[in-house]
Structure 1
Amino acid sequence: MGGEERYIGVAERRARLALRHRLTPAARATSPEEVADALVALHGSDPATVYLAIGARLAEASGTVAATDRALYGDDRRLVRMHGMRHTVFVFPTALTAVVHASTGLAVAARERATLVKDMAKAGAPDATWLKEVEESTLAALGRLGQATASELAREEPRLREQFVYAAGKSYEGLHSVSTRLLKVLGVEGKVVRGRPLGSWTSSQFRWALAPEHPELDPAEAQAELLRHWLTACGPATEADLKWWTGWRVTDVRRALAAIGARAVSLDEGTGYVVAGDVDPVPPPDEPWAALLPGLDPTAMGWQERDWYLAPELRSALFDRSGNVGPTVWWDGRVVGGWAQRADGEIVWRILDGEGVGRDAETAIAAEAERLRGWVGSTRVTPRFRTPVEKALVG
């Protein structure tokens, strides 16, 4: 990571974002898999985000839903919805599932299983041996069924219906079912993944399926590989960005940076990093560009330090209280406003930048809004995490 540090300013960072995240018309992708490869991970906490994020980046967005369904649920399953960084649900290219599991999932999985066993013991529920029997029976049932809901699995393995009291006597006391907690553990352990939704592409109710088989990788090597992928897509990034995005300890981040031979560069925030061979200047896109990105979009949520593309004064309107970003309007590499969909299907937007963006920008943004309405059609999309500007636009 040695050598002279080249300065990469805001303009170049925005150029890299535009081109590598497939946001300019000339850089748009031809398939959902191409988008996922470019972004490394698509936020999946809100199911609609996956489709909206892909549609914003496709050259021909009209077939977004069908193409994404095929990639997620087709026989060859080129995209997989699973737990990943920071214990969050993402959609990954299938080829990356082993890397994600080893680099981020193993540590989370160990904590989740230990917590479940501890909680059940406190509640006087059956022990870990009993839980292991239920787990093996559940996985066998899922193998027979192909895909199934928790209720369908409970018909095959009735012990999944058993309940236990969580945090007895606490203000947050609750009644948990074995199925809810066990399937979550199996998910972070990489044994099961989310299958087809019960409803449309906006539904948050999913079936479960056995995870695609993948090799068991060395965690340190997997961390280096994941970091290499993400820095290629999102570099330069600071150490704080990397620690936040991965959810790793700082020692893991530093070890992975050294393993891939990352190069240090100078940013307005301090020292940043790019992959080896990515230090040369990146020219800006040929023309300014507009985009309407969904809530939790991986570009808007990609870095912890966001001042280079998101003015601090806009955050209170565009984020909820937990730090989840809502739908955003972009102009030439920066967030300038928010958007929403009304009950009649109209896509409405508002510029929050106090200085305005100019007539050309507004024309381009309006065209993107019409493009979005064209492929979303009669489907109504309400973000899972509501933000002030989105609620104001709808109301």
Structure 2
Amino acid sequence: MGEGGRRHIGAAERRDRLALRQRLAGAARAGSPEEVAGSLVALHGTDPAAVHLAVGARLADAAKTVGETERALYDDGSLVRMHGMRHTVFVFPTELTPVVHASTGRTVAARERAKLLKNMAEAGAPDAAWLTEVEESALAALARRGQATAAELARDEPRLKEQFVYAAGKSYEGVHTVSTRLLKVLGVEGKVVRGRPLGSWTSSQFRWAPAPRHPELDPGEAQAELLRRWLTACGPATEDDLRWWTGWRVTEVRRALTAIGAEAVSLDEGTGYVVAGDAGPAAGPAEPWAALLPALDPTAMGWRQRDWYLAPQLRPRLFDRSGNVGPTVWWNGRVVGGWAQRADGEIVWRVLDDAGVGRDAEAAIETEARRLSSWVGTTRITPRFRTPLERELSA
């Protein structure tokens, strides 16, 4: 027992939970991208390739990664790429759209719209009534087209091409186009989402599409539901972890914890939380496992306090200066190194922390590297955020 009679969940048990709930142990791998996203709640979507790589690392049949992920995103619409926590783009199960919008999006959206109107007023651009007209016209054009680029929408609504000076007279002065700023606002407002890219699955140039219709939920209830789902997938977690992942105020986190009846447990870092009834011993993975996870993977980025799966001395090689994680190599629930793809397509990896990593681990890691290479094929992958080890390995 830990402090206050609470059950203590140590690092080893947390890694066992991670292996199964994050679909990383071999026996826990999923049958579809929908299962992967449902298990993880959200896949980081800032780097388009990372979504497919995160799914592929967790599919039982990795050869289906590209086709099945594109089916889910663009044909069936069972997954959706949209703004979510911390003003970041994620891929969510479409059923979570109203939860994400009500729990997180509304607050960000109000701030972004106010900022746009302020910037336009400072530049002497047209007023809010004008912007509303343009917005309604653009949304109508998008509904007619189904999916469209900003340039295509501007052909239907030429006022989208209007420009205004941002931060005039300051060192970061620039010229903004109405379409760029307005579509961003409409995205965080839950009115539009990213559609099919113009290029391959690694392309960052997306069409826009109307957002799935969804009911408007009570923000408090939506926050409770999002927190419940995330704790089910990632618990235990500290209050600091929860604040970081959601981007909410501490009062919102505490209110949501109370609403779901979260159970307090003891962690090496202090007090943590799990969903009610989830404090009991967790079954460990049936066998040792290795994984090659992409930059911005939701497991590597899932918690703010990471010492239980990532040794502090490894971070300078694996993260960029903004705190974005690069491609990582995992062995039995710990980050032990990183990987990259060279210009000729070869997947290369390096173990940085050899504590407990012997020949069996290296053989398992090499198997995962071959598995990754087999479905990536001739596609070339360069993470959007480059890290020191990734740059070194890919050179």
TM-score normalized by the length of structure 2:
0.99
Cα separation, 2, equivalents of 1:347 and 1:277: 42
Separation in 2, partners of 1:110, 1:394? 42
What is residue 306 of structure 2 aligned with on the other side? 306
The CA distance in 1 between the partners of 2:5 and 2:231, in whole Å, is 19
CA distance, structure 2, for counterparts of residue 70 and residue 63 of structure 1: 10
Identity among equivalent pairs (%): 80
CA distance in 2, matches of 1:222, 1:367: 41
Q: C-alpha deviations, 1:353-374, integer Å up to 9, x for none?
A: 0546100000000000000000
Following TM superposition, the consecutive aligned residue runs of length 4 or more in structure 1 with deviations greater than 3 angstroms are none
Gaps (5+ residues) in structure 2? none
Q: What TM-score do you get using the length of structure 1 for normalisation?
A: 0.99
CA distance, structure 1, for counterparts of residue 232 and residue 252 of structure 2: 18
CA distance in 1, matches of 2:208, 2:5: 50
Distance 1:236 1:349 in 2: 30
Paired residue secondary structure (2:321):
coil
Residue type of the alignment partner of 1:207: R
**Partner residue in 1 for 2:357:** 357
Task: Give runs of aligned pairs for residues 253-268 of structure 1, distance below 5 A.
Answer: 253-268=253-268
| CA deviation profile, 1:122-159 (whole Å, cap 9, x unmatched) | 00000000000000000000000000000000000000
Corresponding residue number in structure 1 for 2:52: 51
Matches within 5 A, 1:75-224: 76-224=76-224
Which residue is 2:295 aligned to?
295
Question: Which residue number in structure 2 is paired with residue 321 of structure 1?
Answer: 321
Rounded to whole Å, the distance in 1 between the matches of 2:86 and 2:320 is: 18
Q: Secondary structure at the match of 2:251?
A: helix
Q: SS state of the match for residue 22, structure 1?
A: coil
SS in 2 for 1:148: coil
CA–CA distance in structure 2, aligned partners of residues 276 and 69 of structure 1: 36
Offset of 1:283 from its aligned partner?
2.4
CA distance in 2, matches of 1:49, 1:240: 25
TM-fit CA distance, 1:286? 1.6
Q: Which residue does the alignment assign to 2:12?
A: 11
User: Superposition RMSD on alpha carbons, in Å?
Assistant: 1.0
Partner of 1:92: helix, strand, or coil? Answer: strand
Counterpart CA distance in 2 for 1:122 and 1:354 is 57
In the alignment, the residues of structure 2 paired with residue 69 and residue 99 of structure 1 have an alpha-carbon distance, to the nearest angstrom, of 23
1:227 and 1:152 mapped to 2: Cα distance? Answer: 38
Identify the residue that residue 390 of structure 2 maps to in structure 1: 390
Offset at residue 277 of structure 1 (A):
1.1
Give the conservation status (yes or no) of the 8 Å contact 2:336–2:354. no
Q: Which amino acid aligns with 1:18?
A: A
Counterpart position of 2:41: 40
Q: Counterpart of 2:74?
A: 73
- What are the ranges of 5 or more consecutive residues in structure 1 without an aligned counterpart? none
Letter in 1 for 2:69: T
Q: Is the 8 A contact 2:43 2:51 kept in 1?
A: yes
Amino acid at match of 1:160: L
Change in 2 beyond 3 A, CA 1:356/1:235: closer
Structure 2: how far apart are the matches of 1:4 and 1:140? Answer: 59
Distance apart, 1:95 and its partner CA: 0.5
**What corresponds to 1:270 in structure 2?**
270
2:32 corresponding residue in structure 1 = 31
CA distance, structure 1, for counterparts of residue 7 and residue 119 of structure 2: 51
Alignment partners' CA distance in 1, 2:104 and 2:98: 10
Q: CA deviation at 1:4?
A: 4.0
Letter in 2 for 1:318: L
Amino acid at match of 2:379: T
Supply the distance in 1 between the matched residues of 2:265 and 2:174 (Cα, whole angstroms).
49
Amino acid at match of 1:48: A
Shift in Å, 1:336:
0.1
Could you say which residue in structure 2 is the equivalent of 1:241?
Answer: 241
Aligned pair count reads 393
Q: Counterpart of 1:200 in 2: which secondary structure?
A: coil
